[in-house]
Amino acid sequence: MTNKLAPTQALIYAMIATSAVDARMSESELRRIGFTIKELPVFVDFDEERLIVEAQACQKVVSGPDGLERVLDLIASGLTPALYETAYVLAAEIAATDLRVAIEERRFLQLLARRLRLDSLVTAALQRAAEARHRMA
């Protein structure tokens, strides 16, 4: 595996890692990741067929030695500063998809925000917006 990800790979890693940290990747989370890649402009040049390969590579990193630290390093080094908030909101969106955010997902979001040096008010707003989008009644 390369030491530096392309920005789209880093965004995918942020979503996959968020889904994987609670030791279960739900069908709704995987569907949301696929939908996101199909719909967002940042992924316009990304080959959707590569999603499985990227997901497997990310899972391998997460499950390896110092997995969370390593995946956070890969995400941060692969992004431009303009995509830091995008990575965070996509991760928060995946965490909110199953209508409950597991403690492991919350902790990963905190670590991601810290690694990307995002303001706590910004991350609170992004997380709240992601959760509100998935709320039912």
Mean pLDDT throughout 129-135? 85
Nearest to 29 by CA among 105, 98, 101: 98
Q: Is residue 33 part of a domain?
A: yes
Would you state the pLDDT for residue 106?
Answer: 93
Tell whether the model's pLDDT for residue 108 goes beyond 50. Answer: yes
Q: Is residue 84 part of a domain?
A: yes
Which residues form the domain of 15?
7-134
Q: Is residue 13 part of a domain?
A: yes
pLDDT band, residue 1 (cuts 50/70/90):
very low
pLDDT band, residue 26 (cuts 50/70/90):
confident
Number of domains in the chain: 1
Q: Is residue 2 part of a domain?
A: no
Q: Give the CATH number for residue 40.
A: 1.10.3680
pTM higher than 0.85: yes
pLDDT tens, position by position, 47-106: 989 999 999 999 999 988 999 999 999 999 999 999 999 999 999 999 999 888 889 999
Would you state the pLDDT for residue 123?
Answer: 95
Q: How many CB atoms lie within 10 A of CB 51?
A: 19
Q: Is residue 1 part of a domain?
A: no
pLDDT: which is higher, 117 or 22: 117
